[in-house]
Chain A
């Protein structure tokens, strides 16, 4: 695809691009469907349950049935809500979630947009989803939703900063914002060349901030079911609710892929003698591990409190990530230059 992007756009190339986008949409939807199934199974096993096992063989069609149910549900809009914003919010949540996927490379040759500010693009667009959550919370005209929306805004602002700064170390090491170049810079044959070891601090901060960005346990404060019932999407039902859920899981996909690219060496094999296995397999394995890790955390941790969350973000993660930048810079100055 890359050459297509650099040429002037024609009807033919536009059609091909559109078809690819549709194909990719279905891949992502397939991922979301089975990520939810996987999550429910994994958490079920961790909690001494069996998880979904009724619809289809091994319950494989459970999520399909759930989504179908959501789609045929009555679409309710509260009478006193801000109708326009209420309708807009789910779409606004979903669009950036899907657009950030464009810059993620999967293997040496399989990638979509080869943007030289890929990382910046990701961070900039993912910030828009916050707006959708705040809008959704505000437009619902529900106090719980409002509290959830406000929490979300505070949380996203607090965690976007350490998230971005934690990857500065990676950028320094690879000298590029292009995600493909970042992966290429981690090629050394062995797994210790991957960024997660030299950038240990950055990796830890990134993981914590990423979980928080995803609004998943232990940082699921915007929806905190035991306090705010369901937080920002308390008034949403059916199709619109499905969109919020969908964007949440698409972000799981995006963050897992981004972590793999930034810190786990993308499609590189962990050892030279394993290089006969195609890169895409390594990518998917690492990706699946990160996804599993996110689900695992959800089954293990209680929820953090909102002021503790802010404290952690500003007082711990931000200084630590700055320290990481500083240490990386010193290292570069002394040994690389």
Chain B
């Protein structure tokens, strides 16, 4: 997820343009990357002359090369490196695109359309990078623009690709056992080692016990009368992934149970559909079959990072058992550790598996096995100041603020007026926005509830305080920070600030150009980043609202920085920066903001002076799984989630159901954080989390005046897609009363119950 500071885009281009302007004049042929940066910057500034100068220069210099690159492609490249292999093609097509967009802006629609059509016909495999975090097809964007020219609308028709008949799964063969006694049907070997195996001795018996669709029972589903029926009704037609979120649960079950996907993935989605259909026991069996038979299986996320299905299955089982105490079971001891699992390479993975065991849960379970806080003492402490992280004798971690444990109940606060967009350079600072000209910031102090007929100016700070928020996350650059607002927020509403520096992400602070971005081996750039961080610390270290310092924003994924290819250099540098911070300010700890657990092992090894591991994680509605335990094993640091969230929009659902889905996602996320806090039964190192985000931002799917429902990327959300403009716990209603109106969604009240 790469949402939080995308507004830097316009500023970055501007910065790049300035740095180019200052460069000495040389006659060398400019790279296509340089020219595209200049083109975007000129387009951003609405400088039509410069836009056409740079784009045309790029096209003239690189068109032939682009044509050759296009000719080498048979399909849209998927992996990042493959996309970057045809960068000239991407830049040339982007140059045409910018020209067409510029013409559209000038209302020269006929000329614009010609260029869009040229792109569609000549460069179907070109892609451009969106700093929101993904590549986009220039051809598709061109098609949308053509449609916009022709129809005046950009709404993309979303065709239902698979059966939408609402059904529930009716099992033909539910199996003979609810909890499988695997010892009866085979033998577990080498538990908790890399040579773990379950050897089936009585396959027939196991097939009968597990029932339909669950490994190794692949027979029953083919006898299921529903299969023939669904085939006859053509309800099984369509792409298997479109079934994952279809209301035709019967068809989805049949489709997945007979799918040719890798076994672990097949079983996970089969289980998911059983779970959705309310067949909880069957779902548990199905999830557990992954742990037993396919613990090392993996799938790939949209971002092409490995997704370890066995670990996810254990998380799902724990989630289901937690929410269904009537089942009376718990899963004890189950764990799948993937050695070398913190990189993007699955070839070197080694799974160490303990399938654990389902045991009856009894009254004694409520008594924790861990000693209470007052019986333990601190054995390690980061920092001597008023804020520090403490490790207790039992190995658990807590954040301590002024002598008391502090749970980060955080939220990302970035209220943006409807119609504003950083893409168009129109976004203003929420700390300075004063559209009603009453001398105070609109969002924080003047917002009101949709249900309040008198529209009483109440303010987000008040709403957040009522919700239980005690922290927001903020970066000191590139926008301006108004200390007075933050002081007031702390003094009157009790909300502190995690203050961050991007540490070279999006080329911020390093002085590097967007392309190729920050290089963590470049001494000059490192010096600049250190100066940026020093500036932040010196500016704010004495402010009472500071909770601690945060370095980066999922730099490990790369994008205008090379932390993805040089993770050791990045973490070592971050560690140096942490040491410098502490030399200036011993009062506040230092945290990193990483991307899920990518390169976690390198963080543990390279960054011993960073006190807290923070990470952006979007793992679905059942918590964060093994994340906490992995941090404990690899780094032994307290951990918190720097971003997590879920859209309140889901295709095919009512607004009410959409809010329900969002609320359920947040509830499960927070309960999982709680389950892993000190003195809980989990990993004991969770110190809280930062919800993404307070308010819907309407610019994220490109049209800042429209509340887009576009699914921007596939992910573990209620309808399988991320709808970026619907992540707020509060909405802006129909947008007409922006930036003041607030509709508080169900998730807001969920947190009120959980946090207060």
A in complex with B:
no
Which residues of B are in contact with A by a Cβ distance under 8 Å? none
